[in-house]
Amino acid sequence: MSVAASRSNPFVVLHPDDNIVVAARNVPAGTAVGLNGSQVVANEAIDLGHKLATRLIPRGTPVKKFGQTIGFASCDIAPGSWVHTHNVEVGPLSLDYAYASEIPADPAPITGRTFPGYRRHDGRAATRNYIAVISTVNCSAYTSRLIAQNFDRKLLEQFPNVDGIIPIVHKHGCAMQYGGEDHQQLNRTLAGFARHPNIAAYLIVGLGCETGQASFLAESEHLVQIDIPGKPRGATPLVLNMQDIGGIRQTVQRGTEILAEMLPEVNKVQRVPVPASEIILGTNCGGSDGNSGVTANPALGFASDLLVAHGAATVLAETTEIYGGEHTLTRRAITREVGEKLIERIKWWEHYTSMFGAQINNNPSVGNKKGGLTTIYEKSLGAIAKGGTTALREVYHFAEPIRSKGFVIMDTPGYDPVSVTGLVAGGCNVVVFTTGRGSCFGCKPTPSIKVATNTPMYERMVDDMDINAGVILDGASVEQVGREIFEKIVAVAGGEKTKSEAQGVGDDEFAPWPIGPTL
CB 446, CB 306: distance < 8 Å: no
Position 363 scores a pLDDT of 63
Specify the amino acid at residue 388.
Answer: G
Position 167 scores a pLDDT of 98
Residue 490 burial by CB count (10 A; 0-12/13-18/19+): exposed, middle or buried? buried
Taking only the tens place, the pLDDT of each residue in 368-424 is 999 999 999 999 999 999 999 999 999 999 999 999 999 999 999 999 999 999 999
Specify the amino acid at residue 167.
Answer: P
Position 149 scores a pLDDT of 95
- State the CB neighbour count (10 A cutoff) for residue 292: 33
- Picking from 425, 434, 436, 410, the residue whose alpha carbon sits closest to that of residue 509 is 425
Query: Torsion-angle region of residue 49: left (phi > 0), alpha (psi -120 to 50) or beta?
Result: left
Position 336 scores a pLDDT of 98
Q: How far is CA 52 from CA 65, 216, 406, in A?
A: 11, 56, 37
Low-confidence ranges of the chain (pLDDT < 50): 1-2
What is the SS3 assignment for 498? coil
- State the CB neighbour count (10 A cutoff) for residue 229: 12
CB 448, CB 498: distance < 8 Å: yes
Position 6 scores a pLDDT of 52
CB 484, CB 452: distance < 8 Å: no
CB 242, CB 144: distance < 8 Å: no
CB 467, CB 476: distance < 8 Å: no
First to last CA, the chain: 51
β-partners of residue 23 are 11
The number of residues making up the chain comes to 519
Specify the amino acid at residue 411.
Answer: D
Residues 77, 63: Cα–Cα separation, whole Å: 10
